[in-house]
Amino acid sequence: MPWTPRHVTAQNSLKERGAWQEFLEEAKTEREQLTAQITLLEKELNTAVYALFDLTAEEISLIESA
């Protein structure tokens, strides 16, 4: 197959697509990790606040069900 600029463009396009897919996968992984970290920190903060206000299990249940 002879070399033409069209082949280079198609090859570059595939490389760009691969680079974007890699970038998006990394961004998704980072978002998932940050979401998990936020969830954990939120639970820790809630526990600290519940202890600070000396809430009962019933009061905590009411708050968390709202």
- Residue 13 confidence class, pLDDT cut points 50, 70, 90: confident
User: Does residue 33 fall inside a structural domain?
Assistant: yes
**What's this model's pTM, rounded to 2 decimal places?**
0.68
User: Does residue 1 fall inside a structural domain?
Assistant: no
Pairwise pLDDT comparison (6 vs 53), residue with the higher score: 53
User: Does residue 22 fall inside a structural domain?
Assistant: yes
In this structure, the dihedral spanned by the alpha carbons of residues 39, 43, 45 and 47, taken in order and rounded to 10 degrees, is: 180
Q: How many CA atoms lie within 13 A of 57 on its CB side?
A: 0
- Residue 8 confidence class, pLDDT cut points 50, 70, 90: low
User: Does residue 28 fall inside a structural domain?
Assistant: yes
Contact yes or no for 60/50 (Cβ under 8 A): yes
Domain count of the chain? 1
User: Does residue 36 fall inside a structural domain?
Assistant: yes
User: Does residue 41 fall inside a structural domain?
Assistant: yes
User: Does residue 2 fall inside a structural domain?
Assistant: no
6's tokens: 């069209």
Give the domain range for residue 61.
8-65
Burial state string for 25-34 with b = 16 or more CB within 10 A and e = fewer than 16: eeeeeeeeee
